[in-house]
Amino acid sequence: MNIELILFTILALLTLSSAIAMVSVHRPIDAALSFIITLISLAGIFALLHASFLFVVQIIIYAGAILTLILFIIMFLNIKDENLPKEPKKNLWLLGTSLLTLPFTLIMIKIINSANFGSCTQLDENFGSIEAVGKVLYSSWVLPFELISILLLVALVGAITLAKREESDTTKRVQEVSQKEVS
Amino acid sequence: MPNIIEMHLLSLIVLAPFFSATLIMILTLIAPNLSKKIYTFLALSGAGISAILALVVGYKSYVYNTMYSEFIFRWLDIEAFKIDFALQADPLSAMMILFVAPVGFLIHIYATGYMKDDLAYGRFFALFNIFMFSMLLLVLADNPFMMFVGWEGVGVTSYALIAFYFNDRENVNAGNKAFILNRVGDFGFLSALMLLFVFIGEYGFDFNTIMLHLNEISPNMIHLIAGLLFVGAMGKSAQIPLYVWLPDAMAGPTPVSALIHAATMVTAGVYMVARFSPIYELSFFGEIITYVGAFSALLAGLIATRQNDIKKILAYSTMSQLGYMFMVAGIGGYSYALFHVFTHAFFKALLFMGAGAVIVAMHHEQDIRKMGGLKSELPLIFIMMLIGSLSLSAIAPLSGFFSKDAIMAQLFGSGHYGVYFIALATSALTAYYMFRMMFIVFFGDKKPHTHAVPKSMIFPMIILTFFSVIAGFFNVPHIFGGHEAFSSWLQLPDRHYIVSHAVEYILMAVNTLIIAAAITLAYVRFGKKDANYEESETTLGQAISNKFYVDKWYHKMIVSPLYRASRFFDKINIHFIDHFIHTVSLLYMKVSTVVRVVQNGLVHFYLIYIGAGISMLFIYLYLMLEL
Amino acid sequence: MIEKYLILAILLFSIGIVGVLSRRNIIIIYMSIELMLNAVNLALLAVASYVGSEDAHVISLMIIALAAAEAALFMALFVTLYRHKRSLDTSIFDLLGDKKATQRSTVQGNTNA
């Protein structure tokens, strides 16, 4: 009964319960908050796995940037409770789809349990630290690194193009505003 | 004669009318308002080339016994089943084309006069020339399949020419009748050919080879084949029971009747029996042929005595004379039959031409009761038709006398006395109805207004009259010092029945007496000044006038039931089969409306379908792996 | 020990699938997709700790960067959709389907205009 197992159990239970909560609550804001809890517990598990750099990245970027963006959009859209999509028999649906994914889950678990993993390699002190990851990132993975930056640029441009208002809308608004100012 | 033409005589004979017909047909399609002279030239050149070359072939064959044969191309080649487009002029074929092609040519000249005011002039001559091509192919073919091609060709063109004035429904019906009855005959012919092929086709299927191997077929089969072949002849040559199309065929223009239904197509049946004579020599079926011919001749003779349409009289006369030909062919006298074909072609064509001239003169009137007194108006035509009628009635020394009396002598000599008496009675009837026609049309004191008859119609008649007179001298029998040139030329397996000269003289005298009596009777009834044309109203007389109700009987027994059966099957078709198919298609539509719900356009649901499929795969995987 | 991590990853992945298939709110669907990505990250890191190579860490980093880009685009999409349709229901977009069939089926319930 080592400390790793106890920590893992606590964090795993937390992750699972918040994930289930996220999937089943009605309002998106509740779901987003549950998702944050999931992400932070997941970060803890990353830390347990000696992935110190990714633990930090997960919290800063995933929970801190992406989820913040999601929360911002949810609050920006400002949907009233009555305007949310009505989902009748939501629980029935959840039950049904979980039955659907049950074969997949069970088989995968069975495969994992019956697999012979052999002995694990001895990890050195520096494993998963920012230094080690940085070394690998900028030596053998430098091309994907550059490509990812281009991808992010594309995503940036794409997001602006998708979300901007139509030309006619802006000019109309400008005209309305200028007319109001004049009159 | 230049060698290149000599080598291809037969192909030229057959193909000249074909090419002129094709040209005429193309011209009618692309240049509708072309002058008739061009069509005349094309048609006459096609028929003329055939006629001249046929005369050459006939002469060479008769005098020097030359045989011609030409191979043009191989039409079908499927293992044992080979059909060659090949022509052959053995004496039998040479004799046939000797009169078919020239008489055809003369009738072409006649037709240019008869049809000169017709709008469908080009179409007529295209069909006429295709007919010549088919008939010559029929006669010159060297294997039965080519002969059948010609056989069918004459049937089709006969139909097209009978229904030439197709705007009138009656003419179309007549054409249909001719073709359908012909088809029944063709069924018999083709079945016989198929049987022959099955049994001896492996040795090659031209006439010479077939006749060599006939003894390999069982006797019963030979009888069956002979019978089926005769069914074909019955259809083409209008014998009982397939004769009812011939009187109706007079709906076509007169040149058609002259060429097809007097001189050529109807004689194809006799030619066929002669061509297959080795088969008939091996079978008893000849007896049946003789009797069928006898009764057909008698029936036709009887009906002709009460007909009032000039062309129908001649049609029944043709059927009657064909009966004579089959009578003697059945007892083995093939050369005698063919000799009668030869002479009959001349005088029957002449008579039809004369009838056509009379019809034209009387402004297209065909009922003889409306004619009369034409002797003074159309003297030349009267004389020519008189000669034709005398020849037909077998008065010496015209051609009909030689051929018909030879037939009667053979019948008597073979011991078929019953058939002989039928032939004698028919002879009397022939004279009676022919002279009844002559007296009613040409005698009497009416003074009708006649239309002028074109010279192109008179000129061929003169030539035919000449041949009607002298054609008999081609085959003078021994009794008169001749050598029976035909039989020795044709080399068919004839059975000559020996009749002593005395008996033959007596037979001739009896025949002539009876004919004279018949002519006198006709004169007494119709030729006198105030003859009335009333006929007796006895039941027999009525029956004869109504052609013994045969057409009505055919309609009731065959046509009506078939029509009703087809209507019944049509109803079944609509109510069951169509209904069933509609139900099946409606079922598809209904099932699809149910299944269509699955495609509701939401990608959400499509993901669920994918997920369902994958989980089923996983279940299957679980069952397969031993985990 | 590694099995437990992998089983956790599998469970999280299945929960993500359940979320995608059963919810109709588009934001919840998006978040379930993100959950699936996280499950994959977890699996990667578990194997990395076992094998001892840091390549998996780098890949995991790339996935997080990808998720960020994806988030940006998704949000832009949500904003545009909400602006046009005034609703976050996925069952509005049924142009691929047959109108008459969807009206007749009872599974859908009410659809927002």
Closest residue in B to A111 (Cα–Cα): B627
Residue A100 included in any domain = no
Confidence check: pLDDT of B89 > 80 = yes
Q: Do A110 and B621 touch (CB under 8 A)?
A: no
**Lowest pLDDT segment from A60-69, A159-168, B188-197, B531-540:** B531-540
Average pLDDT over residues B481-505: 77
Torsion (CA) B225, B227, B228, B234 in degrees, nearest 10? 150
- Phi first, then psi, for residue C110 (nearest 5°) are -85, 145
Whether the CB of A115 is below 8 Å from some CB of chain B: the reply is no
C-chain residues near A73 (CB < 8 A): 27, 75, 78-79
**Lowest pLDDT segment from B40-44, B229-233, B373-377, B461-465:** B373-377
Write out the DSSP string of B349-400: HHHHHHHHHHHHHTTS--BGGG---HHHHSHHHHHHHHHHHHHHTT-TTSHH
Whether the CB of C40 is below 8 Å from some CB of chain A: the reply is no
Q: Do C95 and B603 touch (CB under 8 A)?
A: no
What is the predicted pLDDT for the residue at C100? Answer: 61
Query: Which range marks the domain in which residue A178 is found?
Result: 132-183
Q: Do B622 and A97 touch (CB under 8 A)?
A: no
Domain assignments of chain B as residue spans, ordered by start: 346-534, 554-624
- Chains with ≥3 CB–CB distances under 8 Å to A: B, C
What is the predicted pLDDT for the residue at C113? Answer: 38
> Would you tell me how many other CB atoms lie within 10 Å of the CB of residue A4?
11
Which of A70, A85, A100 represents a domain boundary (last residue)? Answer: A85
Give percent of chain B with pLDDT exceeding 90: 18
Q: What is the DSSP letter of B242?
A: S
**Lowest pLDDT segment from B17-26, B75-84, B526-535:** B526-535
Q: Are residues A137 and A77 in the same domain?
A: no
Distance CA A127, CA A137 (A): 14
Closest of B58, B495, B98, B492 to residue B275, by C-alpha: B492
Residue A127 included in any domain = no
- For B318-372, write each residue's pLDDT tens digit: 999 999 999 998 888 888 888 899 889 888 999 999 888 888 888 887 887 778 7
The Cα-based distances of B424 to B243, B298, B409, B434, B509 in angstroms read 22, 10, 11, 15, 12
Distance from CA of C98 to the nearest CA of A (A): 22
Whether the CB of A21 is below 8 Å from some CB of chain C: the reply is no
Closest of B594, B611, B593, B591 to residue B603, by C-alpha: B611
What is the predicted pLDDT for the residue at A172? Answer: 67
**Lowest pLDDT segment from A80-89, A168-177, B391-400:** A168-177
Whether the CB of A152 is below 8 Å from some CB of chain B: the reply is no
Helix or strand holding residue B605 (H, E)? helix B603-624
What is the predicted pLDDT for the residue at B363? Answer: 81
Residue A120 included in any domain = no
Whether the CB of B610 is below 8 Å from some CB of chain A: the reply is no
Question: Are B349 and B366 contacting, i.e. CB atoms less than 8 angstroms apart?
Answer: no
Amino acid of residue A135:
K
Confidence check: pLDDT of C112 > 60 = no
Q: What is the DSSP letter of C107?
A: S
Which of A85, A120, A153 represents a domain boundary (last residue)? Answer: A85
Write out the DSSP string of B451-492: PPPPHHHHHHHHHHHHHHHHGGGGG--GGGT---HHHHHH--
Residue A102 included in any domain = no
- For B494-526, write each residue's pLDDT tens digit: 888 777 788 888 888 888 888 888 888 888 887
Question: Which of B607, B618, B625 is the best mutation test for A, with the most CBs of A within 10 A?
Answer: B618
Q: Within the 49-108 window of chain C, which residues sit less than 8 Å (CB to CB) from chain A?
A: 49-52, 54-55, 57-58, 60-62, 64-73, 75-80, 82, 86-91
- For B129-157, write each residue's pLDDT tens digit: 999 999 999 999 888 999 999 999 999 99
Residue A97 included in any domain = no
- For A96-151, write each residue's pLDDT tens digit: 999 999 999 998 998 898 888 877 788 788 888 899 999 999 999 999 999 999 99
Give percent of chain A with pLDDT exceeding 70: 94
Token pair for residue B592?
A: 């699809």
Whether the CB of B418 is below 8 Å from some CB of chain A: the reply is no
Closest of B623, A19, A107, A39 to residue C17, by C-alpha: A19
pLDDT: is A140 or B80 the higher one? Answer: A140
pLDDT: is A13 or B391 the higher one? Answer: A13
Q: What is the mean pLDDT of chain B?
A: 85
Distance CA B67, CA B93 (A): 10
Confidence check: pLDDT of B382 > 60 = yes
Whether the CB of B618 is below 8 Å from some CB of chain A: the reply is yes
- What CATH number did the domain enclosing A38 receive? 1.20.120.1200
Amino acid of residue B395:
I
What is the predicted pLDDT for the residue at B527? Answer: 72
Distance from CA of C49 to the nearest CA of B (A): 26
Q: Do A103 and B627 touch (CB under 8 A)?
A: no
Distance from CA of B567 to the nearest CA of C (A): 44
Q: What is the DSSP letter of B531?
A: -
Token pair for residue B510?
A: 């009896």
Q: Do A86 and C60 touch (CB under 8 A)?
A: no
Token pair for residue B331?
A: 């007892």
Residue A17 included in any domain = yes
Closest residue in C to A114 (Cα–Cα): C3
B-chain residues near A104 (CB < 8 A): 614-615, 618
Average pLDDT over residues C82-86: 84
Q: Do B615 and A111 touch (CB under 8 A)?
A: no
What is the predicted pLDDT for the residue at A170? Answer: 60
What is the predicted pLDDT for the residue at B120? Answer: 84
C-alpha neighbours within 13 Å on the C-beta side of residue B584: 5
Closest of A132, C85, C108 to residue B605, by C-alpha: C108
Question: Are C24 and A85 contacting, i.e. CB atoms less than 8 angstroms apart?
Answer: yes
**What residue ranges define each of the domains in chain C, with the CATH number in brackets?**
2-104 (1.10.287.3510)
Distance from CA of B582 to the nearest CA of C (A): 24
Confidence check: pLDDT of A169 > 70 = no
Confidence check: pLDDT of C108 > 50 = no
* Model ipTM value: 0.85
> Would you tell me how many other CB atoms lie within 10 Å of the CB of residue B24?
26
- Chains with ≥3 CB–CB distances under 8 Å to C: A, B
Helix or strand holding residue A101 (H, E)? helix A90-114
The Cα-based distances of B563 to A151, B282, B345, B568 in angstroms read 83, 41, 38, 9
Average pLDDT over residues B190-216: 84
Rg (CA), chain A: 23
B-chain residues near C30 (CB < 8 A): none
Whether the CB of A157 is below 8 Å from some CB of chain B: the reply is no
Average pLDDT over residues A37-43: 95
Q: Do C21 and B608 touch (CB under 8 A)?
A: yes
What is the predicted pLDDT for the residue at A25? Answer: 92
Domain total of chain A: 2
- For B576-626, write each residue's pLDDT tens digit: 888 888 999 999 999 988 888 888 888 888 899 999 999 999 888 888 876
Distance CA B148, CA B136 (A): 12
Question: Are B441 and B371 contacting, i.e. CB atoms less than 8 angstroms apart?
Answer: yes
Q: What is the DSSP letter of C91?
A: G
- Say how many Å lie between the first and final Cα of chain C, rounded: 52
Distance CA B490, CA B475 (A): 11
What is the predicted pLDDT for the residue at A162? Answer: 87
Confidence check: pLDDT of C63 > 90 = yes
Distance CA C54, CA B498 (A): 127
* Identity of the residue in C57, C65, C86 whose CB atom sits nearest the CB atom of A148: C65
What is the predicted pLDDT for the residue at A155? Answer: 94
Distance from CA of A181 to the nearest CA of C (A): 27
Token pair for residue B618?
A: 């996983």
- For B555-567, write each residue's pLDDT tens digit: 888 888 899 999 9
Question: Which of A46, A119, A125, A131 is the best mutation test for C, with the most CBs of C within 10 A?
Answer: A46
Amino acid of residue B488:
S
**Lowest pLDDT segment from A158-162, A166-170, B61-65, B566-570:** A166-170
Q: What is the mean pLDDT of chain A?
A: 88
Q: Is the pTM of this model over 0.80?
A: no
What is the predicted pLDDT for the residue at C107? Answer: 45
